[in-house]
C-alpha cells in the first residue's frame, strides 16, 4: 500500500485528473489545500473526495508560503496523519496538483514491492554542489504574514551536521517517516530549519544523511522534471506540453512535473490515454 500526500493550491480540475490517474483502492490519499486559496477550493476538493471516503481525506488546511518552513510543516503533519490513519502502507509519496503519473499504479506498486525499505530522495552535499545556496541556511529567515523576511543576522550551522540539498519531491519508506516524525534526534533540525529559506529542499535530505537512521538511500526521486534557470541561481520546473509526449512516455520516472492545463491540457489527455493502454495491456497479459 502507498500513502499519497497531495498539495493543492489551485486548478481543482487538474487535481481531479491527477487523483483519478493515481487512484487505487489499496492506497490511501491525504490532501492539503492551501488555506490562502480560499474556502471555495477547499469545499470543492472535499466534495470530490467524498466519493472516495474509504481511501481519501483532507488534512486541516494551513497557509503555505513558498520558501517557508510552512511547506515542511505541512509535509510533516501529512506524514504523521497518514501514520495514524493506517498501519499498512509501506511508502509515502508526495505530489503537487500539477504533477502527473507516467506509470500505472500497478507498475508503481510492483516497482516499490521490489524496493521495500528504500528511500528515494535526491541528496547532494550543499557546500560542495550548491554553495551558491548557502545563504538559505546562513541567514536567519522569518515567515511573516504573506512573505519571507531575510534578516541580516547570521548564525552558525548545526555542529557536527553536514547540510544536504535536493528537491521537495520524495518517495519515503514508512521506517523513515516514523523516524522523522518521532525521533528525538530530529528535534534540533526542525528548530534550526524553521528559520531557513526553502527548507523543503534541504530538511529531509539533511535529516536522512546526518542521523542514526539506518536505511537504503537511493539518490533518485523517480521524478521527470525539466529544470530551467531563473536569473543567476534559481531554477524552476518547465511546464510540459504535448510536444514532450514522446519524451515523457519514454522516461523511466514514475511521475513528472509540472503541468499547467491552462497552457496545454492536451498533454494530460495523452498521458491519460497511455495509462489506460498500460492498464489494458497488464490485464490482458
pLDDT in tens, 263-278: 999 999 999 999 998 7
Q: Which CATH number fits domain 2-284: 3.40.50, 3.90.1150, 3.30.70, 3.90.550?
A: 3.90.550
pLDDT value for 285: 43
* Calpha distance 203→170 (Å, rounded): 12
* Calpha distance 23→98 (Å, rounded): 16
Which residues of the chain are modeled with pLDDT < 70? 231-234, 280-285
pLDDT value for 233: 56
Neighbouring CB atoms inside 10 A of 10's CB total 15
Cell of 91: 511508502
* Calpha distance 204→163 (Å, rounded): 10
* Calpha distance 172→98 (Å, rounded): 20
Pairing of strands 255-257, 99-101: antiparallel
124: phi then psi, degrees, rounded to nearest 5: -150, 145
Amino acid at each position: 500500500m502507498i500513502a499519497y500526500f497531495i498539495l493543492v493550491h489551485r486548478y481543482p480540475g487538474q487535481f481531479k485528473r491527477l487523483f483519478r490517474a493515481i487512484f487505487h483502492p489499496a492506497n490511501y490519499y491525504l490532501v492539503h489545500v492551501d488555506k490562502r486559496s480560499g474556502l471555495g477550493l477547499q469545499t470543492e476538493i472535499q466534495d470530490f473526495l467524498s466519493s472516495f471516503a474509504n481511501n481519501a481525506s483532507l488534512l486541516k488546511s494551513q497557509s503555505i508560503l513558498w520558501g517557508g518552513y510552512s511547506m515542511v510543516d505541512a509535509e510533516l503533519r501529512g506524514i504523521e496523519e497518514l501514520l495514524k490513519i493506517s498501519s499498512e502502507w509501506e511508502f509515502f509519496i508526495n505530489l503537487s496538483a500539477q504533477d502527473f503519473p507516467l506509470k500505472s499504479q500497478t507498475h508503481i506498486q510492483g516497482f516499490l514491492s521490489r524496493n521495500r525499505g528504500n528511500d528515494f530522495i535526491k541528496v547532494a552535499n550543499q557546500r560542495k554542489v550548491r554553495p551558491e545556496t548557502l545563504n538559505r541556511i546562513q541567514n536567519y529567515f522569518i515567515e511573516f504574514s504573506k512573505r519571507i523576511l531575510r534578516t541580516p543576522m547570521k548564525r552558525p550551522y548545526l555542529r557536527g551536521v553536514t547540510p544536504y540539498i535536493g528537491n521537495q519531491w520524495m518517495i519515503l519508506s514508512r521506517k523513515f517517516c516514523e523516524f522523522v516524525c518521532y525521533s528525538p534526534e530530529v528535534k534540533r533540525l526542525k528548530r534550526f530549519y524553521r528559520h531557513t529559506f526553502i527548507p523543503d529542499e534541504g530538511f529531509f535530505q539533511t535529516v536522512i544523511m546526518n542521523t542514526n537512521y539506518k536505511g537504503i538511500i537511493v539518490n533518485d526521486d523517480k521524478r521527470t522534471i525539466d529544470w530551467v534557470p531563473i536569473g543567476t541561481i534559481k531554477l524552476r520546473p518547465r511546464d510540459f506540453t504535448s510536444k514532450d509526449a514522446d519524451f515523457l512516455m519514454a522516461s523511466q520516472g514514475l511521475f513528472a512535473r509540472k503541468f499547467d492545463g491552462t497552457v496545454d491540457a492536451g498533454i494530460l489527455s495523452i498521458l491519460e490515454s497511455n495509462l489506460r493502454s498500460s492498464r489494458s495491456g497488464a490485464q490482458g497479459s
